[in-house]
């Protein structure tokens, strides 16, 4: 199943030729079961299809909280933590799952990824 089919939303061909825009359009046509970490990072980083992608990202983060796409250790977690705050306010169950996951990996994050711990602190809903 693709994001296009799940959402019944078929985007027109991009009018801008940036690599990011082309990539986002292509990823919406890619089956979710074939998504790699970098695919999740890109779309979540653009706040695209969060209701479908955040649960997948959380599952991947459960396997390795510091899993990485193409940039750096923990880049998927960073994309998740910097995604749209309004989404998280509407999804308290997902928020709780991620918060528990991060809290259970607190020591690892503080030792190896201080910048991610700071992003988590900023992400928490007040």
Closest CA to 32 of 69, 7, 62: 7
Contact yes or no for 57/101 (Cβ under 8 A): no
Domain definitions of the chain by residue range: 3-123
Contact yes or no for 88/125 (Cβ under 8 A): yes
How many other β-carbons are positioned within 10 Å of the β-carbon of residue 65?
21
Which pLDDT does position 113 carry in this prediction?
Answer: 66
d(CA 124, CA 80): 12
d(CA 96, CA 125): 10
Note the Cα 92 to chain centre separation in Å: 16
pTM, whole model, 2 decimals?
0.87
Q: Which comes out higher in pLDDT, residue 120 or 125?
A: 120
In this prediction, residues 102-118 reach a mean pLDDT of 81
d(CA 67, CA 79): 12
pLDDT in tens, 25-65: 999 999 999 999 999 999 999 999 999 999 999 999 999 99
């Amino acid at each position: 199943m693709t994001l296009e089919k799940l959402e019944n939303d078929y985007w027109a061909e991009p009018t801008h030729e940036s690599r990011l825009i082309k990539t986002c359009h292509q990823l919406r046509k890619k089956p979710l079961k074939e998504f790699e970490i970098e695919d999740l990072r890109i779309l979540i980083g653009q706040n695209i299809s969060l209701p479908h992608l955040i649960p997948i990202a959380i599952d991947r983060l459960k396997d390795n909280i510091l899993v990485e796409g193409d940039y750096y250790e923990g880049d998927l977690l960073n994309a998740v933590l910097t995604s749209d705050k309004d989404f998280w306010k509407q999804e308290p169950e997902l928020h709780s799952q991620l918060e528990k996951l991060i809290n259970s990996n607190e020591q690892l994050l503080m030792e190896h990824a201080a910048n991610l711990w700071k992003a988590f602190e900023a992400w928490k809903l007040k």
